[in-house]
Amino acid sequence: MSGIESVLHQLVADAGLPPVAEITALTGHGFDHEILHAILADGREVVLRHRPDAPRPVPRALARFLADHEVAAPALLGGTDTATLYEYAPGEMLSALVDEGRVSDEQWQAVGTAFRGLHAIRFPAGLAGSFTRDGRLSLQLSDPVATLHEELTRSAPVLAATLPGVVPQLPRLHAAIDAYADRLRSTPTALAHFDVNPANIIVTADRATLIDWGEPRVLDPGQEIAALEEHVYLLDGSPMLPPAFYTGYGPRPATTALHRLTGAIGWYTSGDFDEWEALPAALKPKADRWNRGLAAYLSKLPELLHQL
């Protein structure tokens, strides 16, 4: 039995669950974790997420917070500093469904409903933050307008080196941030998943579950919807999420269009793609596709700024 399998058996026993009957490795989807899917003797299913290179405390406080607020997330069943055991979320990854063009309206609505429940956990405008390693929520007062200007300024040298055609557009984007200032400053912030890659959204016919809660934040919900839109665009080229999503979610936040542009620049210049140069062959094409898609998206910046 491999080391990781014995951790699985131990965590299942510690959680008071029946023994493991069958184990399958889930590979090729996540960048960071080795994932084992297990069926227990009573038919229940669990998932072990293992990341030996980055030990961290078991995120119990976050899991309790999500459960108390009825967020559509799998229950945490146990863990060590390098492995966590979760309830299995049945269904398919939204990424696969979008890629293959087979997301039903009911499924989009379910995804919208999951995000509506998450973003219903609101905080006063101007408060933003993240969870600390030991599970405390750390919030700061910050001006979203100043933050966006600063992030854009920080991105400029990377853009000059990698996508110089975008640089002449940056003054217009700074002006757009100012034009959105009232909307940005008056928006209550909300709990956000912050890694809304559609491989982290598992859907059945009528239900969506958000998995992979590695770095939740408190931020403008428009920023999270923009990130989801960007990811879906990178998969199938659709400019916006479909109306069925908003049937479940409620109205598209007023700041979404602006965050879409600043978010794409932020991601493109974040350093993720340098880090992903060394990815295994099974995952590299996905990162390359995002990189090329973002560059293509940003090459349309003049037109996109016009539409704001």
The H-assigned helical ranges of 144-250 are 144-162, 170-179, 181-186, 221-236, 243-249
* Residue 145 structure tokens: 């307008």
| Cα–Cα distance, 71 to 94 (Å, whole number) | 18
Residue range at the interface with Mg ion (CB under 5 A); choices 49-57, 183-191, 197-205, 215-223: 197-205
- Examine residue 88 and tell whether it contacts ligand ATP (CB under 6 A): yes
Q: State which residue, 83 or 301, has the beta carbon closest to ligand ATP.
A: 83
| Cα–Cα distance, 10 to 204 (Å, whole number) | 30
Burial class, 222, CB count within 10 angstroms (exposed 0-12 / middle 13-18 / buried 19+): buried
- Examine residue 212 and tell whether it contacts Mg ion (CB under 5 A): yes
- Examine residue 216 and tell whether it contacts Mg ion (CB under 5 A): no
Which DSSP helix (H) or strand (E) runs through 145? helix 144-162
In the block, residue with structure tokens 């982290």 = 200
- Examine residue 107 and tell whether it contacts ligand ATP (CB under 6 A): no
DSSP summary character for residue 283 = T
Instruction: Compute the least distance from the CB of residue 33 to ligand ATP, in Å.
Output: 4
94 binds, among ligand ATP, Mg ion, none (CB under 5 to 8 A by kind): none
Instruction: Compute the least distance from the CB of residue 237 to ligand ATP, in Å.
Output: 22
Which DSSP helix (H) or strand (E) runs through 78? strand 76-79
- Examine residue 214 and tell whether it contacts Mg ion (CB under 5 A): no
- Examine residue 211 and tell whether it contacts ligand ATP (CB under 6 A): yes
| Cα–Cα distance, 274 to 95 (Å, whole number) | 23
Q: State which residue, 86 or 233, has the beta carbon closest to ligand ATP.
A: 86
Residue range at the interface with Mg ion (CB under 5 A); choices 62-70, 201-209, 211-219, 240-248: 211-219
Residue range at the interface with ligand ATP (CB under 6 A); choices 128-136, 169-177, 192-200, 269-277: 192-200
The single residue among 12, 98, 199, 210 that binds ligand ATP, judged by CB under 6 A, is 199
- Examine residue 30 and tell whether it contacts Mg ion (CB under 5 A): yes
Phi, psi of 207 (to 5 degrees): -145, 140
| Cα–Cα distance, 268 to 270 (Å, whole number) | 6
Stretch 63-82: interaction string toward ligand ATP, x if CB under 6 A: -----------x--------
DSSP summary character for residue 42 = T
| Cα–Cα distance, 181 to 188 (Å, whole number) | 14
Helix orientation angle between 144-162 and 256-268, rounded to the nearest 10 degrees? 40
Residues 15-44 that bind ligand ATP (CB under 6 A): 26, 29-33, 35
Residue nearest to Mg ion (CB): 212
* Residue 300 structure tokens: 């349309």
Summarize as ranges the residues that interact with ligand ATP (CB under 6 A).
26, 29-33, 35, 47, 49, 74, 86, 88-89, 93, 195, 197, 199-200, 202, 211-212, 214
Summarize as ranges the residues that interact with Mg ion (CB under 5 A).
30, 200, 212
